[in-house]
Copies of this chain bind each other. A is one copy, B any other.
Amino acid sequence: MCAGTGPIERRGAIAAAAALGLALSAARGFAQGDPLPSWTDGAAKLAILDFVTRVTTKGGADFVPPDHRIATFDNDGTLWSEQPVYFEVMFALDRVRAMAPQRPKWKTQEPFRSVLAGDNAALAKLSQRELLQIVMETHSGMTVEAFRRTVLEWVATAREKRFNRPYTDLVYQPMLELLGYLRAHDFRTFIVSGGGIEFMRAWVPSVYGIPPEQVVGSSGATAFRKTADGEPELVKLPRVEFVDDGPGKPVAINRFIGLRPILAFGNSDGDQQMLEWTAGGGGARLLGLVHHTDAVREWAYDRNASVGRLDLAWDEAVQRGWLVVDMKRDWKVIYPFEKQ
């Protein structure tokens, strides 16, 4: 996980213990306590504390000045849950039902017919193309402000089925702590996600403490136009503009951020190129993957998952010594509500 120095596990026990002591005391100095209380005291937490201590220690070999402390995080499966389907797909399906009265054709037109009929067998078989069609149709035809209001209303009222809670309750407490810990050390924390950029920006600032301009995602095209009474507006069009997944992630990082991250976290093969891009370029790096291993508290899936598959990126992580976070082992708490 730490390019240039080799993975922490390979160091001698004494060096590791010393590093832990240094990292923990640095962390205590900053927060008067453990900055990552929901992480168990294992190798994952150690690697994070060690990395942040090294890149923020002035005069140290790995010191990175604050203006280059860029951290990028995938969202689905890395900062919040993504099973059994991406939550944004649940939003889109809810929108199909809400918009149906204005779209009478949908009653007979696939894939909308299956959604409206609650035909779960058909829904489970939807192709990527059909899903994209549903997302495009429900994410366009309104102004960006109207879309934002719709997302906020959904976030406030919709309930995830398994936990019967708002979807935004299903964010990972250990990752919230990591985001805060990094920002307290002058990192700028970005989301770089395959999710829709405007879907995320509606709720991300209040949930993760990340401002809209630090949220990068997939997007549909928008057009500037004037209303009949001359008011300018931006309208969302049913046309894919950019898919922020796989090799699209380093492209988007370059376009939106213009600096190479020194830390990147993902959880699936769609994050592999982001981690590779972050790993390159020289200097201290932390590359992390969240491995979903806890079917009791969250979900357990990896190589054979249809959503959030972790296969090639896992192999590369093992081979290159990137940090693989085992949810079950490394996280004392998954969701914030477990603490209540």
Q: How far is the CA of A219 from the CA of B234 in the complex (A)?
A: 21
Can you name 19 A-B pairs with beta carbons within 8 Å? A188-B213, A190-B213, A197-B255, A198-B258, A201-B258, A212-B257, A212-B258, A213-B213, A213-B256, A213-B258, A215-B258, A224-B247, A224-B250, A224-B273, A231-B280, A232-B276, A233-B280, A234-B250, A234-B254
A211 within 8 A of B: yes
State which of B201, B223, B232 has its C-beta within 8 Å of the C-beta of A280.
B232
Mask for A201-245, Cβ within 8 A of B = 1, else 0? Answer: 100010000011111000100111000000111100000000000
Within 8 A of B (CB), among A268-315: 273, 276-277, 279-281
A67 within 8 A of B: yes
Question: Which residues of B sit under 8 angstroms from A281, Cβ to Cβ?
Answer: 145
A residues with CB within 8 A of B = 67, 144-145, 188, 190, 197-198, 201, 205, 211-215, 219, 222-224, 231-234, 247-248, 250-251, 254-259, 273, 276-277, 279-281
New A-B contacts (9) at CB < 8 Å, excluding given A213-B257, A223-B251, A234-B277: A67-B211, A144-B254, A212-B259, A224-B273, A231-B280, A232-B279, A233-B280, A234-B250, A234-B251
Q: How far is the CA of A250 from the CA of B255 in the complex (A)?
A: 17
Q: Measured between C-beta atoms, what is the minimum distance from A133 to chain B in Å?
A: 22
Question: Which residues of B sit under 8 angstroms from A277, Cβ to Cβ?
Answer: 224, 232, 234
Question: Which residues of B sit under 8 angstroms from A145, Cβ to Cβ?
Answer: 281
Q: How far is the CA of A136 from the CA of B250 in the complex (A)?
A: 21
The 7 lowest CB-CB distance pairs between A and B, nearest first, are A212-B258, A224-B247, A201-B258, A232-B276, A224-B250, A213-B257, A232-B280
Q: How far is the CA of A282 from the CA of B76 in the complex (A)?
A: 34
Q: How far is the CA of A248 from the CA of B234 in the complex (A)?
A: 11
Question: Which residues of B sit under 8 angstroms from A259, Cβ to Cβ?
Answer: 212-213
Question: Which residues of B sit under 8 angstroms from A254, Cβ to Cβ?
Answer: 144, 222, 234
Q: How far is the CA of A250 from the CA of B233 in the complex (A)?
A: 9
User: Closest B-chain residue to A273, C-beta based?
Assistant: B224
Q: In the complex the two chains form, is A213's CB within 8 Å of B214's CB? A: yes
User: Closest B-chain residue to A225, C-beta based?
Assistant: B247
Q: How far is the CA of A197 from the CA of B258 in the complex (A)?
A: 9
Q: Measured between C-beta atoms, what is the minimum distance from A144 to chain B in Å?
A: 6
Q: Measured between C-beta atoms, what is the minimum distance from A323 to chain B in Å?
A: 19
Q: How far is the CA of A273 from the CA of B233 in the complex (A)?
A: 10
Question: Which residues of B sit under 8 angstroms from A256, Cβ to Cβ?
Answer: 213, 256
Question: Which residues of B sit under 8 angstroms from A231, Cβ to Cβ?
Answer: 280
Q: In the complex the two chains form, is A251's CB within 8 Å of B224's CB? A: yes
Q: In the complex the two chains form, is B144's CB within 8 Å of A219's CB? A: no
Q: Measured between C-beta atoms, what is the minimum distance from A236 to chain B in Å?
A: 10
Residue of A190, A255, A259 most packed against chain B (CB within 10 A): A255
Question: Which residues of B sit under 8 angstroms from A198, Cβ to Cβ?
Answer: 258
Q: Measured between C-beta atoms, what is the minimum distance from A220 to chain B in Å?
A: 10
Q: In the complex the two chains form, is A250's CB within 8 Å of B232's CB? A: yes
Question: Which residues of B sit under 8 angstroms from A190, Cβ to Cβ?
Answer: 213
Question: Which residues of B sit under 8 angstroms from A276, Cβ to Cβ?
Answer: 232
State which of B67, B211, B215, B219 has its C-beta within 8 Å of the C-beta of A205.
B67
